[in-house]
Amino acid sequence: MNIGQAAWRSGVSAKMIRHYESIGLIAPVGRTAAGYRIYADSDVHTLRFIRRARDLGFSVDGIADMLALWRDRSRKSAAVKKRALEHVADLRRKIAELETMARTLSELAERCHGDERPDCPILSDLAAGARASTLAHFDEFKLKKGNGFAPRRRGRA
């Protein structure tokens, strides 16, 4: 079958199939005399695997790992589980991050009148700026710069 049908059957767009081939996630498939890519059912199967992994939020690298494990019939399920749990941990981290944002922002919004008046704790918070999360970067910065960086007087700033 052509790439269009493979895309349709797998749920991976033709565009992405070509992309995945170009970055080496999937091996190049055969071509017709005219240069059209030819896909077999097994290729569609692989593409569905990829689609499903993508839906679970795996990165391309992660998908590559999972694909390799899938194809390795002597794999240990421990290896698969490990990968999966690492990914779950990543997801949880991300979720916690977003949760913090959402919580902070809805707390601020709750305290906002939301009427005709201009005063609003949301803007006040943003304007105040220097708070916990915003202060963290000072350390990052000092660390990143190899330190010895602190409030030394800068030229004629």
Partner DNA sequence: CCTTGACCTTCCCATCGTTGGAAGCCCTAC
Partner DNA sequence: GTAGGGCTTCCAACGATGGGAAGGTCAAGG
Q: If binding is defined by CB under 7 A, does position 11 make contact with DNA? A: no
Q: What are the structure tokens assigned to 51, written together?
A: 């689609």
Alpha helices in 57-131 (DSSP H): 60-71, 77-110, 121-128
Find the shortest distance in angstroms from Cβ 22 to its own copies.
22
Q: Please, which residue, 22 or 133, has the CB nearer to its own copies? A: 133
Among 30, 36, 86, 99, binds DNA (CB under 7 A): 36
Separation between Cα atoms, residue 9 and residue 44, nearest integer Å: 7
Give me the least distance between CB of 79 and DNA, in Å please: 20
C-alpha 15/C-alpha 36 separation (Å) is 14
Neighbours of 50 (CB within 10 A): 24
3-state secondary structure of 157: coil
Q: Kindly state the DSSP code that residue 38 receives in the 8-state scheme.
A: -
16 binding partner (options its own copies, DNA, none; Cβ < 5 to 8 Å by kind) = DNA
Contact with its own copies (CB under 8 A) among 5, 15, 30, 31 = 5
Q: Does 13 bind DNA (CB under 7 A)?
A: yes
CB under 8 Å to 91, separation ≥6 — which residues?
57
Q: Do 3 and 18 contact (CB within 8 A), yes or no?
A: yes
CA 139 to centroid of chain Cα atoms: 26
45-104 residues in contact with its own copies (CB under 8 A) are: 45, 48-49, 51-53, 55-57, 66, 69-70, 73-78, 80-82, 84-85, 87-88, 91-92, 94-95, 98-99, 101-102, 104
Q: Which does 113 bind (CB under 5 to 8 A by kind): DNA, its own copies, none?
A: its own copies
The residues of the shown chain that bind DNA, judged by CB under 7 A, are 2-5, 7, 13-16, 18-19, 31-37, 54, 59-61, 145, 149, 154-156
